[in-house]
A and B are shown apart, each in its own frame.
Chain A
Amino acid sequence: FSWEVSCLRNDKSQPTLIPLTPQILNLSADFSTYTLYLKWNDSGSVFQHELDASWQIQILYKETMETINYDSKLTGKDSILFWNWTSDIPLECTSYYVKIRCYINELYFTGRKEWSEWSPVRTVPEKDTKPNSAMVFPQDKVVLVGSNVTFCCLYNEGKSVKFMNYGSESYPLLRLSKWSSAIKVQNVNASIPSGTNILCSLVPDDLEGTVLFVGYAPDTPQNLNCETRTFITITCSWNPGRPTALYTKRQTKYILFERISREKVTCKVDELNEKHHCDFPVHANQKIYNFTLGASNPLGQAESSLLIDVNQRVHLETPDKFTVSTNSSTNAHLSWYIPGNFIKIRLLCQIEISNSNSERQLNVSMAGAENSNYRARVDALHPYGTYTFRVRCSASEYFWRWSKWSEGKKLTTLEAPPARGPDIWRQRSPVGETLTVFWKPLLLSEANGIILSHEVSCYLRERMLKAYEVPVPLNSTEIKLGGNDCLISVTAKNRAGSSPPSKITSVDLPSDNVKTELAIATGNGIYISWHSDPNVTCGYTLKWCISSGSEPCSVDWEMFPSNAIDAVIKSALFQPGVRYNFSLYGCKHNGYQLLQNITGYMKELPPKVAPNFTVEETSSDSILVKWEDIPVEDCQGFLKGYILYFAKGEKGSSKTSFMEEGSPELTVKNITDLTKKSLRILDLQGKTSYRLDLRAYTVGGIGPSKDLYVVTKENSVGLIIAILIPVAVAVVLGVVTSILCYQKREWIKETFYPDIPNPENSKALQFQKNICEGNTALKTLEMNPCTPNSVEVVETRSTVLKIEDTEIISPVADSELPEDGSDPGTGSHVVVSYCPPIIDEEISSPPIDEPVGSSQVIYIDIQSMYQPQVNPEEEPEINFVTTAGYKPQMQLPINTMKMESHAPTEEDLDKTAGYRPQANTNVWKLDSPDSPVSIQSNNENGSFGSPCSINSRQFLIPPKDYEDSPTPNNTGWSFTHFFQNKPND
């Protein structure tokens, strides 16, 4: 039975090569990776030589079929061939059927070549066929963020899928088989720690599901660092990088692999800790370590490497059990423990020694030991000093890192005798019987302990006369000299002993002509200088006394060498603006001598108060101001002068200072002569209020101000002149006017009071009459047919004076007497006579729409006061109510209109009762045919006192009776018209 025999068949025409049907040796499935593994025998031994073989593999799933081609070479012997294939859906979701066939490509075979028969079908485990219970696949799978995942739901026969959810979102179902449906989710996001749920809801009621974990492959471990702390283990630490979003079994696992020793350690990391650690054992004879840290999770792996020399990566543990002790005043013993085996290296330890005002480090190198205590001694400490010690260590040869500082330990060294004697001074009482000895307390650094007392002794030629033990805190004592001078010695004592003595003589040398100098304020001290004295051999002493409140002042001093000529004295007790007095003593071979007194300020300030000043004397152009000195304690500096500001100003007008006001008339006087206590201000204005402001100033600034207001006295001569000049001018003007009036009296009379002509003597009338006879058109003054009518003017107003058109002013109306004897005092009842005009129809016949203008007779005095003022639209009611007097005809149509529009009641009509035209204007025109008609009237014909028709410009000459009217209606008009009339009127 061979391939050749079985494969070659002799067809009728030509032979055909048909390979034998291949047999699948094995078909297995990896469900986690959705992969099928196929294994079969190529039966190559059938052929004696090499042949090309092709294989076709068919996979049937999801009711579809996939065919894959696979090529191989037959090598003349049997070979097992492998092939794998990965599905895009979980293998559990449906059944997979696999079969294979073969094709031999024998080049030398000339006959027909055909594929073999398909092998028997092999099937992967049939999970979807009649499952025991519903299930969702894949189960608890881990995928990369962004993957596309297919989930299938398997269920029993008779059930169906209602929906499938990924998380909370429902997806469209893909039917795989009659027991299986699927959903495909694209580009999945990172899941929550407990995973994303996939739900499969079945009908009838059932629920199945699975969980998908979506995350990232591990990041490359970052900042990998390996070091040893004990030489027992090497600790590697790193940052994990980007979180994988995978936890528990799915979290990243780390393996530390050392290439030289080929040893690996699985690292247990705390996921909650941001920095991960892993320990690797130190090998006895290995210095170099080549570490590779591998990180892996179900989605991938990453690694990071590091090569180290362990001797150069020593990071010691924190020194433990740290103790300090001392048995002297200047040194201390330290001890600490470091775990680990450091026999092969030297250690470098740093000791930090700190006290309240200093800090220093001391490096100590020492041989390493195994789990040992290390010791060190610290010298040059200060007696009775309190120090804090702490220590840290590292490898000495190859410094890598310091350990952490140990805890701090405090230590106080023992006491020692004071390093020096105290600074001393003495002061004789005024009488000289007693001597007060002062000393300054020693600094802590000099006292070397707690000063218990001071011993003060008095020596005369090296023989101690007296000795006093003065306990602290006293810093002075009084010695009775008893007429003898002595050498004073002072020593400070503590528990460890006494200081060297400080000595000073009690002898005071007499001094003559001691001057007081001024010191210079430096802001933080007082600069004092003096002249060098060649007799001073043992230095200068500057003494001062600072008083605080009611307590006696405390003496202080400072000593300077003999060559010193100046000094800046500083003291925490000095205050700005306070005056201090200093005494400079020179130390001579036989005693101390007062050389100089000095006064000064640490910092000069502006005066605290304003100088008290008054005005002593005032005249019309000057003021004398006087002021008092400012008390020394208020000066706050050396007074440099006064500044006087003055300007005009009323009291209470302004509270602001001159500076703020910026007054343009401000005058400033700077008084630098401190002996001057008064000042006269000149060139002032009389009877004027001045504001004065006086301030004192020092180098520190200008002090506060004090105001005074002064009024200068009146200038009487000027006032007299001011009165006399206008009076004289008025008198001269009066005299000149009188003379002129006298000389021009004729002209004045003619101008202002011309003689009134008698109309009866006027020839002009005769002339006119003749003209009238000849020409009927000129009926200007046709006296005979004129029958005077009377118009009773009920009310007139003074507003007649407002009329500006002097050509149409008729003063007559105002001068008429009341006809009926009514109250003339009111001036509102005037009777005017007139001649009704005889209007020629040809001339005066007006258009129908102008009845008033053409026919009415206008009494100008009366009308003119109404016409400009009538504004029916603005004051209709006023017109109704208040115009109770005369109503001119011209106004009638307006009033009529108003009355119609307002429909006034009868009472309203009564209120407006007054003059009413006797007939309408048309009637006037018809009823007065005989009235004189004036066609061309002329002002030359005008006559005062005659009402005039506007149409005719004809004066209506009153009857004779009225000319003699003794009481003019309005006496005020004549003066007004005196100025308004033109001379030719």
Chain B
Amino acid sequence: MASSEQSPAPLQHRSLCSRVILLARKIRSDVASLLESYVERQGLDRTISLDSVDGVPAAAMEQGGELTVAERLDANLQAYRAFQVLLGEVLEEQRSHLTPLDTDFHASIQSVLLQVVALACQLGELLALLGHGRPAWEAASPEDPGHRSLFEMKLRGLKVLQELAHWTVRSVRDLRQVAKHSQGSGAAHGGQAQKE
């Protein structure tokens, strides 16, 4: 009985981590196919340089080895919240300016957007489960696309999808680390920030 009382938190961590990993993989798969249709519909090349596009969270970790579990999860959460906004913008730009009649394409973006929202929710849950509490939603108001040229919209959309794909890879890696950590710490409160 004692063991059964102690085990639920790590089990929940692991279960939630698994679900987050599964969802991240699913998003990655969907984004991969979405990218194909995106470049085709925008007349772009996947090898195009997107360095000039800013405002999209980059998945590359400069100090990845030094982040705590909470920092990792928080970075993921913030990124997906940002993608939630960015994808919404991309969808609206496509509907209003670029591909107004392509409803199937819009549905694909919408589908990825909903999955990103779900992933952000799960990450928030995981953070709460680990005792960090959900970080406040810093709802960055979407940028006014009025000043943006159509070409910038196209590049920005491509960058959003590419970085989202990268983020899903990073999330899978991060969530594995989190799962490993929660397994190692056993019944200890996962909420304690630990340097990895």
Contacts and interface: CB of A to CB of B under 8 A. Distances in A.
B52 A197 contact: no
A768 to B, nearest CB: 128
Interface stretch (A94-102, A188-196, A721-729, A952-960): A188-196
Contacts of B150: 140, 194-195, 210-211
Contacts of A205: 49, 51
Contacts of A139: 149, 151
A589 interface: no
Interface stretch (B2-10, B27-35, B37-45, B135-143): B37-45
B195 interface: no
Interface residues of A, number: 27
B100 A136 contact: no
B61 to A, nearest CB: 23
Contact of B151 (A168, A197, A271, A272): A197
Interface in A179-212: 192-199, 201, 205-211
Contacts of B151: 136, 139-140, 197-198, 208-211
Given A210-B149, A248-B96, A194 B43 contact: yes
A209 B149 CA distance: 9
Interface of B is mostly: loop
Contact of A192 (B43, B49, B51): B43
Given A192-B41, A195-B98, A247-B101, A206 B154 contact: no
A226 to B, nearest CB: 27
Given A205-B51, A248-B97, A271-B100, A195 B43 contact: yes
Contacts of A196: 43
A207 B51 contact: yes
B48 interface: yes
B44 A197 contact: yes
B155 interface: yes
A167 interface: yes
Given A167-B43, A199-B48, A193 B149 contact: no
Interface in A110-127: none
B154 A197 contact: yes
B66 interface: no
Contacts of B99: 193-194
B158 to A, nearest CB: 11
A207 B48 contact: yes
Nearest to B50: A207
B101 A271 contact: yes
Interface in B97-119: 97-102
Contacts of B52: 206-208
Interface in A210-246: 210-211
A249 interface: yes
Nearest to A139: B149
Contacts of A272: 101
B149 A194 contact: no
A249 to B, nearest CB: 7
Interface string B129-153: 0000000000000000000011100
Nearest to B94: A194
B51 A248 contact: no
Given A205-B49, A207-B52, A194 B154 contact: yes
Nearest to A134: B52
B43 A197 contact: yes
Nearest to A135: B149
B54 to A, nearest CB: 12
A249 B97 CA distance: 7
Nearest to A195: B150
A208 B52 CA distance: 8
Query: Considering residues B42, B43, B48, B151, which has the most beta carbons from chain A within 10 angstroms of its beta carbon?
Result: B151
Contacts of A140: 149-151
Contacts of A208: 52, 151
Nearest to A248: B100
Nearest to A199: B48
Contacts of B98: 193-195, 248
B42 A197 contact: yes
Given A209-B155, A211-B150, A247-B101, A194 B51 contact: no
A160 to B, nearest CB: 16
A696 to B, nearest CB: 76
Contacts of A209: 151, 155
Nearest to A192: B43
A197 B51 CA distance: 17
A249 B48 CA distance: 27
Contacts of A167: 43
A271 B99 CA distance: 12
A871 B29 CA distance: 92
Interface in A773-803: none
Contacts of B51: 205-207
Interface in B153-174: 154-155
B100 A211 contact: no
Contacts of B154: 194, 197, 211
A839 to B, nearest CB: 115
Contacts of B102: 193
Interface of A: 136, 139-140, 167-168, 192-199, 201, 205-211, 247-249, 251, 271-272
Query: What 10 A-B pairs come out closest when comparing CB atoms?
Result: A194-B98, A209-B151, A211-B150, A207-B49, A247-B100, A248-B100, A140-B150, A211-B151, A197-B43, A210-B151
13 contacts: A192-B43, A193-B41, A193-B99, A194-B41, A194-B99, A195-B43, A205-B49, A206-B51, A209-B151, A211-B154, A247-B101, A248-B98, A271-B101
Given A194-B41, A207-B51, 4 more contacts: A194-B99, A195-B43, A211-B154, A272-B101
Interface of B: 41-45, 48-52, 96-102, 149-151, 154-155
